[in-house]
Amino acid sequence: MEPQSHPDQTRTDIDSSRRRRSVEPVLMDTYEVAAMLNMSTSWVYREASKLGLKGYKLGRGRNAKVLYKRAEVFKWLEQQKIH
């Protein structure tokens, strides 16, 4: 069963509007943060909390994934700007 659409709306309009709704990820993993800052992952693990970047641990034990809020990373980075 096809979803009902407005009679004036063409099929391509519907398909293109669906594609534009992609959601930007809210969280970044340690590897993404390290790559963005051009630092090592061990540096991120060691220094993030000292710098005020709070990690969110998903899972348990040694294989738990640590994620950081993208907005907080960009905010911290903006604060490092030399005026």
Residue 81 has what pLDDT?
87
Closest CA to 66 of 77, 53, 76, 57: 57
Give pTM, 2 decimals.
0.66
Residue 5: pLDDT band by 50, 70, 90 thresholds? low
Residue 19 has what pLDDT?
62
Residue 80 has what pLDDT?
87
Separation of alpha carbons 69 and 74, rounded Å? 9
- The domains found in the chain, sorted by start residue, are 26-79 (1.10.1660)
Per-residue b/e over 35-67, b at no fewer than 16 CB within 10 Å? eebeeeeeebeeebeeeebebeeeeeeeeeebb
- pLDDT for 29-80, tens place per residue? 999 999 999 999 999 999 998 988 899 998 998 889 999 999 999 999 999 8
